[in-house]
Amino acid sequence: MAIKRHNPHACDAWQLLVKFSFTQNTQVSPLAAELELSPAQCHVLRLLEPDKPIPMRQLADGLCCDASNVTGLVDRLESKGLVRRTASDEDRRVKVIELTPKGARLRAAFMERMAAPPEGLERLSVREQQTLVRILARLLE
């Protein structure tokens, strides 16, 4: 792979990030179960920032899945009282989805639990933490 030959450190860093994301992803399931949600439902809640209603089409894009899935996904979240469907005024084909107060609370609980930093992070010096933030921000922008 040409890129690897020319840029070994970039590839090392990327592989570590990818490995991390795989591991991190397996943590979603048990946490979701604890909150009585499915992993897919957690991903929907994650995409729904409080007070920012978005069309169902945009949810499908964010989940990288077919639009037909979103119907059932939103159905189940709505029956749990976590989200609301509203017809759009501008385009009457569109339905926008927003969190209910209950949904917003559950979303906050999920995000906080996912964002709980691991032990390892404490071992880094403040300077290293700052460096990491700066580099990641540029990398993921």
Partner DNA sequence: TATTGTTATACTCTATAACTATA
Partner DNA sequence: TATAGTTATAGAGTATAACAATA
Task: Decide whether 19 or 105 has the Cβ nearer to a second copy.
Answer: 19
Residue 92 one-letter amino acid:
R
Residue 23: helix, strand or coil by DSSP?
helix
For 77-86, the CB contacts below 8 A with 24+ separation are 77/41, 77/44, 77/45, 77/103, 82/41, 82/45, 82/106, 83/44, 83/48, 86/53
**Contact with DNA (CB under 7 A): which of 24, 29, 129, 130?**
29
Residue closer to a second copy by CB (options 68, 117) is 117
Q: Is 47 in the site for DNA (CB under 7 A)?
A: no
> Is residue 74 close enough to count as binding DNA by CB under 7 A?
yes
Instruction: Indicate the residue among 46 and 80 with the shorter CB distance to a second copy.
Output: 46
* Shortest CB 100 distance to DNA, Å: 17
CA–CA dist 12, 133 (Å, integer): 18
Mark residues 93-122: x for contact with DNA by CB under 7 A, - for none: xxxx--------------------------
